Amino acid sequence: MMKFELGCHLVYSIYEPSTFVFNIGVVHNQYQQVEQEKLEIYPRLEIEEYNNPFNGNRYLRLNAPKCQMEISYQAIVELHHFLQDPHEVQEVTPANLPLEILPLLLPSRYCQSDQLINLAFSEFGHLTPGYSRVTAICNWICQKVIYLSGSSDHHTSAYDTATERVGVCRDFAHLAIAFCRALNIPARFVNAYAYGLNPPDFHACFEAYLGDRWYLFDPSRLVPQTSIIRIGTGRDAADVSFATIFGMVEMNEMRLSMQPLPDPTTGKVDQPFFTTEAIAIS
């Protein structure tokens, strides 16, 4: 068990009446138990909430007038990780995958798996299928792609990153997802809170469907996996932007915070750690 206090604070200048769809609240499930949660918006605006039944993503829509707007989300979350011996985590053939998961084998805007099939097979096709193959993909990306802030933008896709070999966590995740799908391993993008990013920011990683569930992977290796708290999952970053905005708006400030909290029974603060075990939070 691990416990975190986390939050984000966003400030916008809105130059004309605009619509926002936020995706900043953590997913509620047995692995992410939300103890407290608080959303504050100034000025006070009506909010409409939509929870996607398929993946648990929580979307908030609000229509804002011309104004300066602040939105802040705070939560205390207890994480109960599902951990497994990686040697026991197998790939599932398309013959046996749950049918509702098949769309996560398809190429998407930022993960053109159809164009990376030869590359994926040449690099990973000979490896033993299973959890270790997805780990090999993460190792490859971590070693061969340079992490460089500002090196990519919102148009950058896995196709670019495979060749240009530079990017940020979002690009690392897109490339890993594209490789997985090219190898017939379902994979989805994860937007998350995570502990230890400097400067603090939303984090991007991914999940691959292996055995009977979605396992978490982070090819950036920037944060301990045990500190990753899921906000949203989708085909790629397009689906889980923390803010999709329709209107003329400027973001003035984005502050994220995250702290481990003491275990109430022991009073000790467990520090998040890197693990080589197979880990899942959904």
Residue labelled with tokens 């605006």: 45
Residue 4 or 179 with smaller CB distance to its own copies: 179
What's the CA gap between 142 and 240, in Å, rounded?
Answer: 23
Beta bridge pairs of residue 205 = 190
Residue 132 or 184 with smaller CB distance to its own copies: 184
Q: Supply the minimum distance, in Å, between the C-beta of residue 67 and its own copies.
A: 15
Q: What is the CA radius of gyration of the chain?
A: 19
Give 3-state DSSP helix, strand, coil % of the chain, rounded to 5.
20, 40, 40
The pairing of strands 82-84 and 278-280 is: antiparallel
Q: Supply the minimum distance, in Å, between the C-beta of residue 199 and its own copies.
A: 22
Contacts of residue 6, Cβ cutoff 8 Å, sequence gap at least 6: 26, 74, 75, 76, 77, 193, 229, 256, 257, 258, 259
Distances (CA, A) of 78 to 1, 9, 201, 229, 280: 7, 21, 20, 10, 14
Contact residues: its own copies, CB under 8 A: 19, 21, 48, 50, 52, 59, 61, 63, 93-95, 99-100, 102-103, 105-109, 112, 114-116, 118-119, 122, 144-146, 154-155, 159, 162-166, 184, 235, 238-239, 244, 246
- Of 200, 192, 152, 198, nearest to 172 by C-alpha is 152
Residue 154 or 268 with smaller CB distance to its own copies: 154
Q: Supply the minimum distance, in Å, between the C-beta of residue 204 and its own copies.
A: 16
Residue 95 or 267 with smaller CB distance to its own copies: 95
Q: Supply the minimum distance, in Å, between the C-beta of residue 277 and its own copies.
A: 30
Q: Supply the minimum distance, in Å, between the C-beta of residue 108 and its own copies.
A: 5
- Of 136, 129, 187, 125, nearest to 158 by C-alpha is 187
What's the CA gap between 156 and 24, in Å, rounded?
Answer: 23
**Hey, what are 55's tokens?**
């993946």
Q: Supply the minimum distance, in Å, between the C-beta of residue 97 and its own copies.
A: 9
Residue 31 or 179 with smaller CB distance to its own copies: 179
Residue 108 or 227 with smaller CB distance to its own copies: 108
Residue 164 or 263 with smaller CB distance to its own copies: 164
Contacts of residue 144, Cβ cutoff 8 Å, sequence gap at least 6: 165
Q: Supply the minimum distance, in Å, between the C-beta of residue 176 and its own copies.
A: 15
